[in-house]
């Protein structure tokens, strides 16, 4: 079987694309069915999967070797269709089997993670991505140290190395390793209150006295906050009022009191809130009723601005665009035409048409046309 070489996207990520067929297997870009996938230890894998037969497929690596998909232990890609690209995390050096969740009998192959060259051990985090909400949450991931080439001994860790604002600690600074028993320690990550939102890398280095290995954990930092959501386009007929309910929504675990204020553009409509302070938690949103009244306002467009403040550093605005437009009115009544009048007009038109026809005939015969209608009372009995 041909073993495809995976092209590296960068120094830390490998890529591969597979198309799923229930009857045959996973097909690589070169046509190989169920190709062997090989990546160096310490590299992530970006895998793109799609369905070639219209059936639902889902790629996963059976890390614990029990033939069953075990989340989150096993590496698992997103379902296809549609076509999806998923980043799979780190795995300890070894040989594994990958499958399709729905068609494992035909869709399976070998997944190899090469050991770090020249090293007696490998450091593997259970999670390659850590998420921190500073001020309210600590992110933790288990670090596994596995033996390479039959190594038995102690691996000592240096303090975690992170950027300013990110602090890392270990539950154990050294672990014992043997071919049959890996060592583990817990890495805890926190962010300072002033750490900006963003993406950071934290590295951890271990040494057995003869060599060292370094691994990294990507760390995403978020700030607990809140947001406002409402229908911001608000047409209001002149001389009337309209309501809208907007929501105050917590994000990333925010909890606290929020003060609400309202401002209206010059000579604009009157605006009111049914509450000037709300309290929200991660489990509870707040709803606030806004009323806009256009009585006495001129035709035009105005802004109504809601300002929500939790602290000096946490303030958000929601701007309503109010269009004040005229009230709809019924069309003015038109002239009333009686049915008798319509009949009389119709008869008159018919008689005139007959007279004109007779005149044409008389001209052809050389007679003087008869145009005298005197004595005819065409509208007798009718009122025009």
> What is the pTM for the complete model shown?
0.63
Kindly report, residue by residue over 366-384, the tens digit of the pLDDT: 655 554 444 444 444 434 4
Specify the pLDDT at position 53. Answer: 96
Confidence of residue 343 (pLDDT cuts 50, 70, 90): low
pLDDT of residue 136 exceeding 90: no
Instruction: Give the per-residue SS3 of the chain.
Output: CCCCCCCEEECCEEEEEEEEECCCEEECCCCCECCCEEEECCCEEEEEEEECCCCCECEEEECCCCCCCCCCCCEECCCECCCEEEEECCCCCEEEEEEECCCCCCCEEEEEEECCCCCCEEEEECCCEEEEEECCCCEEEEEEEEECCCCCEEEEECCCECCCCEEEEECCCEEEECCCCCEEEEEEEEECCCCCCEEEEEEEEEECCCCEEEEEEEEEEEECEEEEECCCEEEEECCCEEEEEEEEEEECCCCEEEEEEEEECCCCCEEEECCCEEEEECCECEEEEEEEECCCCCCEEEEEEEEEEEECCEEEEEEEEEEEECCCCCCCCCCCCCHHHHHHHHHHHHHHHHHHHHHHHHHHHCCCCCCCCCCCCCCCCCCC
CATH of domain 121-223: 2.60.40.10
Q: Which whole-number Å values give the CA distances from 279 to 276, 282, 286, in the listed order?
A: 11, 11, 7
Kindly report, residue by residue over 87-116, the tens digit of the pLDDT: 888 899 999 999 999 999 999 999 999 999
Confidence of residue 11 (pLDDT cuts 50, 70, 90): very low
Kindly list the domain boundaries of the chain, sorted by start residue: 8-114, 121-223, 225-325, 338-371
CATH of domain 225-325: 2.60.40.10
C-alpha distance across the termini of the chain, in Å: 102
pLDDT of residue 130 exceeding 60: yes
One CATH from 2.60.40.420, 2.40.110.10, 3.10.180.10, 1.10.600.10 for 8-114: 2.60.40.420
Kindly report, residue by residue over 153-198, the tens digit of the pLDDT: 999 999 999 898 889 999 999 999 999 999 999 999 988 878 888 8
Same fold, 121-223 and 225-325: yes
User: Mean pLDDT over residues 81-88, rounded?
Assistant: 89
């Amino acid at each position: 079987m041909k073993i495809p070489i995976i092209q590296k996207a960068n120094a830390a990520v490998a890529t591969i694309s597979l198309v799923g067929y229930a009857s045959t297997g996973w097909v690589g870009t070169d046509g190989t069915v169920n190709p062997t996938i090989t990546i160096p230890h310490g590299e992530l894998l970006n895998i793109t999967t799609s369905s070639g037969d219209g059936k639902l497929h889902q790629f996963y690596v059976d890390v614990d070797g029990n033939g069953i998909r075990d989340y989150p232990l096993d590496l698992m890609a997103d379902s296809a269709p549609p076509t999806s690209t998923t980043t799979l995390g780190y795995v300890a050096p070894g040989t594994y089997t990958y499958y399709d969740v729905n068609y494992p009998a035909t869709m399976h192959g070998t997944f190899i993670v090469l050991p770090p060259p020249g090293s007696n051990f490998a450091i593997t985090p259970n999670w390659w991505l850590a998420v921190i909400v500073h001020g309210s949450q600590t992110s933790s991931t288990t670090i596994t140290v596995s033996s390479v080439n039959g190594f038995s001994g102690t691996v000592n860790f240096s303090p975690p190395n992170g950027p300013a604002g990110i602090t890392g600690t270990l539950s154990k600074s050294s672990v014992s390793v043997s071919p049959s028993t890996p060592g583990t320690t817990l890495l805890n990550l926190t962010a300072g209150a002033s750490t900006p939102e963003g993406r950071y890398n934290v590295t951890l280095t271990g040494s057995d006295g003869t060599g060292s290995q370094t691994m990294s954990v990507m760390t995403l930092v978020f700030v607990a906050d809140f947001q406002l959501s409402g229908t911001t386009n608000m047409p209001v007929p002149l001389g009337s009022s309209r309501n809208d309910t907007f929501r105050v929504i917590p994000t990333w675990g925010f909890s606290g009191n929020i003060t609400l204020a309202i401002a209206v553009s010059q000579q604009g409509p009157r605006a009111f809130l049914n509450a000037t302070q709300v309290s929200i938690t991660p489990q509870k949103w707040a709803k606030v009723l806004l009323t806009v009244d256009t009585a006495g306002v001129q035709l035009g467009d105005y802004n109504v601005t809601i300002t929500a403040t939790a602290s000096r550093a946490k303030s958000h605005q929601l701007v309503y665009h109010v269009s004040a437009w005229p009230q709809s009115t019924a069309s003015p009544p038109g002239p009333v035409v009686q049915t008798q009048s319509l009949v009389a007009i119709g008869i008159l038109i018919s008689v005139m048409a007959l007279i004109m026809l007779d005149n044409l005939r008389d001209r052809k015969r050389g007679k003087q046309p008869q145009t005298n209608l005197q004595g005819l009372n065409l509208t007798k009995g009718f009122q025009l």
